A = this chain, B = another copy of it.
Amino acid sequence: MEIPSVYLERAVTQMAQLPGIGRKTAMRLVLHLLRRERSDVEALADSLRELVANVHYCRICHNICDGDVCSICSSKQRDHAIVCVVESVQDVMAVESTQQYSGVYHVLGGVISPMDGIGPQDLEIQSLVERVQTEPVQEVILALSPTMEGDTTCFYIYRKLADADVKVTTIARGVAQNEQLHYTDEATLGRSIVDRRPFKA
């Protein structure tokens, strides 16, 4: 596909580098932008520039924030004795939106994945261990995805925290809320039977 303008070509090439966006979609997005007000497009461009210029990561939990320490880590309403370990910033937002958790977080920045060349040293695991050793943390909740990589990372962290005087827990696995039992995959259903618990009325 020959593109009739170098500026169009450049914008399409840049947009097509975003994940899940091919050249055809990029072209559609860019031509949409051309139909918008010029100030709208400039606002988009500026928001991206300002994002990378100003965004910070909390020096305690490594969540995205605007200052040195994030609003959760600096809140007196939160229980700083419980640390929920998550893979990403998105996972912090996911747990927060449940409104079921009042502790603090620790964002690893990924999970151990030898296939992708990601080892423990690429993640915020050492800082978690130091945090548990130096702060009065009582419980570490491992809230990682129930995948091979997530499980490996859980196990690695569990071993690293073996010497620390801290309770290590993981989030419950089982059938999803409102899911039809006969549509649940075997592994999940099997595990939910093994991990059965006393019925509470």
Residues of A within 8 A of B (CB): 1-8, 10-11, 13-15, 17-21, 25, 27-34, 38, 40-56, 63-66, 70-72, 88-90, 92-93, 96-97
Contacts and interface: CB of A to CB of B under 8 A. Distances in A.
A65 B97 contact: no
Given A1-B93, A20-B28, A42-B49, 12 more contacts: A2-B93, A4-B66, A4-B72, A7-B47, A10-B47, A10-B51, A14-B44, A27-B90, A34-B52, A34-B64, A38-B53, A41-B49
Max chain B C-beta neighbours (<10 A), residue from A29, A51, A65, A97: A51
Contacts of A72: 4
A34 B71 CA distance: 20
Nearest to A38: B52
A64 B32 CA distance: 13
B4 A71 contact: yes
Q: Give me the 10 closest cross-chain CB pairs, A-B, nearest first.
A: A45-B45, A11-B51, A14-B47, A14-B44, A11-B47, A45-B48, A7-B51, A41-B52, A45-B49, A10-B47
